[in-house]
Amino acid sequence: MLDHKDIVEEIKVIVFRLKDEEYGVEVNQVKSIERLEHITRVPRTPQFIKGVINMRGIVTPIVDLRRRFGIEEATYNETTRVIIVAIGEIEVGLIVDSANDVIDIPINAIEPPPEVVGGIEAVYLRGVAKLDRRLLILLNLNKVLNTDEIKQLENIEA
Amino acid sequence: MEMNQYLDMFIEESKEHIQAINDHLLVLENDPENVNLINEIFRSAHTLKGMAATMGFEDMAALTHEMENVLDQARNHKLVIDTDIMDVIFKCVDVLETMLYSIAGGGDGKEDVSHIVAALKAILKGELPVSIRQEDVSQPESASGKETAATAIAETAEDMRPYQLDEYEFTVIEQSIESGYHAYWIKTSVKDDCVLKAARAYMVYDNLESLGEIIKTTPSVEELEEEKFEKSFEIVLISKETEDKIEKTVMNVSEIEAVEVREIQPNAQHTASVQQQEEKQPAASVAPTKQPAAKGTKEEKTAAKAPVAKKSTTSKTIRVDIERLDVLMNLFSELVIDRGRLEQLARESGQSALMETVEHMSRISGDLQNIILTMRMVPVEQVFNRFPRMVRDLAKDLNKKINLEIVGADTELDRTVIDEIGDPLVHLLRNSLDHGVESAEERRAAGKPEEGLVQLKAYHSGNHVFIEVRDDGKGINREKVLKKALERGILTEQTASSLSDKQIYELLFASGLSTADQISDVSGRGVGLDVVKTKIESLGGSCSVDSNPGAGTTFLIQLPLTLSIISAMLVQVEDEKFAVPLSSIIETAVFSPDDIMHAHQQDVIDFRGRIVPLVSLKSIFNIPDSIEHKDNDISVVIVRKGDKMAGLVVDSFIGQQEIVLKSLGKYLTNVFAISGATILGDGQVALIIDCNALIK
What is the per-residue pLDDT across B311-325, written as a single tens digit (0 to 9) for each? 334 457 777 887 888
Query: Which amino acid is located at B48 in the chain?
Result: L
For the stretch B53-71, pLDDT in tens is: 777 788 888 888 888 888 8
A42-46, B183-187, B387-391, B561-565: range with lowest mean pLDDT: B561-565
pLDDT at position B237:
83
Q: CB contact, 8 Å: A42 with chain B? A: yes
Residue A30 has pLDDT above 90, yes or no: yes
What's residue B142's pLDDT? 40
pLDDT for B427-447, tens place per residue?
888 888 888 888 888 888 888
- At B164 the pLDDT is 66
Helices (H) and strands (E) in chain B, counts: 25, 22
pLDDT top residue among B207 and B631: B207
Each residue of B554-569: pLDDT tens digit?
999 988 776 677 889 9
pTM here?
A: 0.51
Q: Closest approach of chain A CAs to the CA of B571, in angstroms?
A: 14
**ipTM of predicted assembly, 2 dp:** 0.88
Domain membership of residue A46 (yes or no) is: yes
What is the end-to-end Cα distance of chain A in Å, rounded? 61
* Nearest residue of chain B to residue A144 (CA atoms): B667
Helix pair B114-124, B83-104: axis angle to 10 deg: 150
A110 belongs to a structural domain: yes
Give the pLDDT confidence score for residue B511 in this predicted structure. Answer: 66
Residue B669 with chain A: CB contacts under 8 Å: 147
In a domain, A101, yes or no: yes
Look at residue B292 and give its three-state secondary structure: coil
Region B551-555: mean pLDDT is 89
Q: How confident is the model at residue B199 (pLDDT cuts 50, 70, 90)?
A: confident
State whether the Cα torsion B226-B232-B238-B242 is positive or negative: positive
Residue of B330, B575, B668 to mutate, interface with A, max A Cβ within 10 Å: B668
Structural domains of chain A, count: 1
pLDDT of residue B313: 43
- Biggest CA-to-CA distance, chain A: 61
Amino acid at B261: V
Which residues of chain A lie closer than 8 angstroms to B670, CB-CB? 151, 154
Which residue from A minimizes the CA distance to B662? A59
Name which residue leads in pLDDT, B552 or B128.
B552
Q: Quick check: B160 pLDDT over 50?
A: no
Q: Distance from A130 to chain B by nearest Cα, in Å?
A: 32
The range of the structural domain enclosing residue A22 comes to 7-157
B149 band by pLDDT with thresholds 50, 70 and 90: very low
pLDDT recorded at residue B684 = 86
Exposed/middle/buried for residue B630 (C-beta within 10 Å: 0-12, 13-18, 19+): exposed
**Residue A142 contacts B, CB cutoff 8 Å:** no
- Cβ of B668 within 8 Å of Cβ of A41? The answer is no
Q: Which pLDDT band holds residue B401 (cuts at 50, 70, 90)?
A: confident
Q: DSSP characters for A81-99? A: EEEEEEETTEEEEEEESEE
Does the structure show a pLDDT above 90 at B636? Answer: yes
The per-residue pLDDT for B579 is 94
Cβ(B667)–Cβ(A90) below 8 Å: yes
Give the other-Cβ count within 10 Å of B537's Cβ: 16
pLDDT tens for B652-681 read 998 888 888 888 888 887 788 888 898 887
* The predicted structure's pLDDT at residue B629: 66
CB under 8 A, 24+ apart: contacts of B511-516: B512/B488, B513/B481, B513/B484, B513/B485, B513/B488, B514/B484, B515/B435, B515/B476, B515/B477, B515/B480, B515/B481, B515/B484, B516/B434, B516/B435
Do residue A43 and residue B674 have CB atoms under 8 angstroms apart? yes
Of B301, B307, B565, B583, nearest to B458 (Cα)?
Answer: B301
Is residue A17 a part of any domain in this protein? yes
Do B447 and B535 contact (CB within 8 A), yes or no?
A: no
Alpha-carbon gap: A93 to the closest alpha carbon of chain B (Å): 11
Q: How confident is the model at residue B267 (pLDDT cuts 50, 70, 90)?
A: low
DSSP H helical segments within B105-138, as ranges? 114-124, 132-137
Would you say residue A152 lies in a domain?
A: yes
Of A60, A91, A147, the CB nearest to B669: A147
pLDDT value of position A98: 93
Question: Closest partner residue to B686 among A40, A57, A91, by Cβ?
Answer: A40
Q: Between B195 and B19, whose confidence is greater?
A: B19
Sign, CA dihedral B497-B502-B504-B507, equals: negative
Q: Could you tell me the domains of chain B?
A: 4-162 (1.20.120.160), 167-263 (3.30.70.1110), 379-560 (3.30.565.10), 565-694 (2.40.50.180)
Q: Do B687 and A42 touch (CB under 8 A)?
A: yes
A27 touches chain B (CB under 8 A): no
B686: chain A residues, CB-CB within 8 Å: 40
Is A49 touching B (CB cutoff 8 A)? yes
Query: What is the tens place of the pLDDT at every residue in A97-143?
Result: 999 889 998 888 888 887 766 667 778 888 888 888 888 889 888 88
Q: Is residue A1 part of a domain?
A: no
Among B217-226, B306-315, B393-402, B480-489, top mean pLDDT goes to B393-402
pLDDT tens-digit map of A40-98: 999 998 889 999 998 877 899 999 999 988 888 888 999 999 999 998 888 999 999 99
Taking residues B146-171, report their average pLDDT. Answer: 53
pLDDT interval class at B3 (50, 70, 90): low
Are B664 and A59 in contact (CB < 8 Å)? Answer: yes
pLDDT category of residue B635 using cuts at 50, 70 and 90: very high
Give the burial class of B221: count Cβ atoms within 10 A of its Cβ; 0-12 exposed, 13-18 middle, 19 or more buried.
middle
Chain-wide mean pLDDT for chain B?
77
CA angle B410, B415, B419 (to 5 degrees): 100
Residue A41: CA count within 13 A, CB half-sphere:
14
pLDDT above 80 for B196 = no
User: Min CA distance, A115 vs chain B (Å)?
Assistant: 27
DSSP class per residue in B44-94? HHHHHHHHHHHHT-HHHHHHHHHHHHHHHHHHTTSS---HHHHHHHHHHHH
What is the reported pLDDT for B157? 41
pLDDT tier at B253, thresholds 50, 70, 90? confident
Residue B77 — pLDDT band, cuts 50, 70, 90?
confident
Does residue B587 have a pLDDT over 80? yes
Active-site residue flag, B270: no
Q: How far is B134 from chain A (nearest CA, A)?
A: 48
d(CA B334, CA A57) in angstroms, rounded, equals 7
Report CB contact under 8 Å: B684, A38. Answer: yes
Residues 426 through 445 of chain B touching chain A, CB cutoff 8 Å: none
Residues of A in contact with B576 (CB under 8 A): 40-41
Chain A residues whose beta carbon lies within 8 Å of the beta carbon of residue B621 = 43-44
* CATH number reported for the structural domain that contains residue A24 in this entry: 2.40.50.180
Q: Which of B327, B623, B685, B690 to mutate to test the interface with A (most CBs of A within 10 A)?
A: B685
Of B622, B666, B686, the CB nearest to A89: B666
- Highest mean pLDDT, choosing among B338-342, B522-526, B672-676: B672-676
Q: How many whole angstroms separate alpha carbon A67 and alpha carbon A46? A: 10
Instruction: Note whether residue A135 is domain-resident.
Output: yes
In a domain, A2, yes or no: no
- Which amino acid, one-letter code, is at B444? R
* Nearest alpha carbon to residue A101 among A17, A11, A37, A41: A17
- For the stretch A108-112, contacts whose Cβ atoms lie closer than 8 Å and that sit 24 or more positions apart, written own/partner, are A108/A8, A108/A9, A110/A138
